[in-house]
A and B are shown apart, each in its own frame.
Chain A
């Protein structure tokens, strides 16, 4: 397939597009009180992909999901599902199912009736429904709960019923609206792995909405980071983490140090920048417009404490030493007054880690990135 967006796949896959949105805009309200929830969004989500829409609340990720489900109609723009224009179709004729944030299980039906509801509405025979419900119950390991009422289930079990109910009609796309938000941490971790393997097993395109960056990194094939109704970056978790193209993306995903700087000039694919305390360093260019003022992004794990013989790239005063179990986080105060967090993985023997000690650090090759 041909993609006319600038965000062409970088991993070289040629899978066809399952969901394509073009210039999608959604405005709520009118006149002065109008709010633009989605601003001219282009997106291509591929077949058999675990795709995550990631962003803080109010970024438009849920609106995008609801437009795909058909609960809202776009103010302008186009949505295609598997090559077919579905922009104006009502939700009940779209081969798309949703797992709702609070599950929205039907309280007047048993677990089996909930799971079979979509099939019943599609007019399947009762034998077919029964067989499929059984299959779904075993898929989510709830065979024993078939005739329970939904209010007799735990949160995790309700979650599985919601999943089974949405998967039973074998939709082309499964939409998941923060489905793990209501679960406790341990259950959430388990469900993340289960969801991921369920996606691989069924081969259905999953579109997952979350504000939890860790969840997004763990589960997704690709992630779209959103803010203020726009998509800032689309890429694999590794691309998003290692090569953020936007300051917001870098800051939102994982821990990162962001230092203010001025562009001095370019040297190959590197940019020479001058930090506020006067030190200059080379940082990887990201193609963003970085004339004049810019920022340098440094992951804590791509910085290490300078050893004897190293030339420190930066020096700071140790303010805090935080024990993280497998590593120490060193909080340094730079000459510019900015804070720099360094993750020190090895042993601390032989290092002067007393409060106020001057500590030099070395940046791994390619570890510094220039952001607009």
Chain B
């Protein structure tokens, strides 16, 4: 603005352009504020309040919700004792989500590679098949999975039909069922970013790898995987984070016996009527995810610097 060489008319037109830009951005900013930042702020606020007897909150500030996460107050003398039951749920959830991420990667990578190596005009068809499940509601798909996994379901009937097993395997309402359900639900989120990075892969590099005495496995490990790394990481993030907070899958396939974080939080807002603790649990989950992403981002930028 200190540029004196600009005429007044020019300055005026610049100012107007800036105003237009702000006006055009406003709807997006308002939406972000309303649906993203405000609920987060409310959750953060609630997590420091006192639970009401019939749900809701009482406006008395207390850090009790966070204390409750790790400690249990003795009903007789009021002393705090370490309680790992919530921590256990978190660890179980992280373990299941991690396992599902690895599983989705192992299934999704060959799938994405398969599509990326198809002739260009056929790829859209295969991508369409990958996105097809999104046309049906997740709840319905999970019920379908329940029918497949149950004792008289498709898997057990066919295994017994060919005589591999005599009695049905009890898969449903176990961690295995939740694990299978998570992989099934989030597999497309793994395949799509993997495909995006593999599609750009120059297959002459693969040939160069073979030419330089690398066998298939080593070409995969030393050439394809490092080049597809952004896609692998994006896919893992897209499976791990929603997997960690999954609600429907563990509720239906885990039978509600084996809780994951999502179910635990839902219970706090429902039957437990402890909104502050539910809010605190949600924020702790978010904090864990953010910390994990920050560590990752730092290691990536370090790696990039080391290369530069």
Contact = CB atoms under 8 A, between A and B. Distances in A.
Given A108-B226, A110-B307, A102 B204 contact: yes
Interface in A49-107: 69-71, 90-93, 96-98, 100, 102, 104-107
Contacts of B204: 100, 102, 104
A117 B215 CA distance: 13
Interface residues of B, number: 20
A118 B205 contact: no
Given A100-B204, A149-B307, A108 B212 contact: no
Contacts of B213: 92-93, 118, 121-122, 169
B218 to A, nearest CB: 6
B211 A98 contact: yes
Interface in A122-174: 122, 149, 165-166, 169
Interface in A351-368: none
A98 B208 CA distance: 7
Nearest to A101: B204
A104 B223 CA distance: 11
B227 interface: yes
A104 B226 contact: no
Contacts of A106: 205, 208-209, 223, 227
Most chain B CB within a 10 A radius of its CB, from A98, A104, A105, A107: A104
A69 B212 CA distance: 11
A121 B307 contact: no
B214 interface: yes
Interface in B16-55: none
Most chain A CB within a 10 A radius of its CB, from B208, B222, B226, B307: B208
Contact of B212 (A71, A90, A110, A169): A169
B103 to A, nearest CB: 26
Nearest to B229: A108
A118 B210 contact: no
Contact of A104 (B207, B214, B215): B207
Nearest to A93: B213
Contacts of A69: 211
B214 A107 contact: no
Contacts of A100: 204, 207-208
Given A108-B226, A110-B307, A118 B212 contact: yes
Interface residues of A, number: 26
Nearest to A98: B211
A92 B207 contact: no
B210 A91 contact: yes
A110 B209 CA distance: 15
B212 A97 contact: yes
B71 to A, nearest CB: 47
A119 B69 CA distance: 54
B202 interface: yes
A71 B227 contact: no
B67 to A, nearest CB: 47
Interface in A277-315: none
B286 to A, nearest CB: 33
Contacts of A110: 307
Interface string B191-228: 00000000000101101111111110010001100110
A164 to B, nearest CB: 12
A117 B222 contact: yes
B212 A117 contact: yes
A118 B218 CA distance: 11
A121 B214 contact: yes
B210 A90 contact: yes
Contacts of B210: 70-71, 90-92
A90 B212 CA distance: 12
A90 B223 CA distance: 18
Given A108-B226, A110-B307, A165 B212 contact: yes
A98 B210 CA distance: 10
B218 A121 contact: yes
A284 B2 CA distance: 86
A92 B215 contact: yes
Contacts of B226: 108
Nearest to B211: A98
Contacts of A71: 207, 210-211
A104 B208 contact: yes
A169 B215 CA distance: 16
B281 to A, nearest CB: 40
Nearest to A110: B307
B208 A121 contact: no
Nearest to B202: A104
A91 B223 CA distance: 16
A110 B307 CA distance: 8
A98 B212 CA distance: 8
Contacts of B223: 106
A91 B227 contact: no
Contacts of A92: 210-215
B211 A97 contact: yes
Contacts of B208: 98, 100, 104-106
Contacts of B308: 149
Contacts of A122: 213
Contacts of B212: 92, 97, 117-118, 121, 165-166, 169
Contacts of B307: 110, 149
21 contacts: A69-B211, A71-B207, A71-B211, A90-B210, A91-B207, A92-B212, A92-B213, A98-B211, A102-B204, A105-B208, A106-B205, A106-B208, A107-B227, A108-B229, A117-B212, A117-B214, A117-B222, A118-B212, A118-B213, A165-B212, A169-B213
The 9 closest A-B pairs by CB, nearest first: A118-B212, A121-B213, A104-B208, A91-B210, A104-B204, A108-B226, A121-B214, A98-B211, A92-B210
Given A106-B227, A118-B212, 17 more contacts: A70-B210, A71-B210, A71-B211, A90-B215, A92-B212, A98-B208, A100-B207, A100-B208, A104-B208, A107-B227, A108-B227, A108-B229, A110-B307, A117-B222, A121-B212, A121-B213, A149-B307
Interface of B: 202, 204-205, 207-215, 218, 222-223, 226-227, 229, 307-308
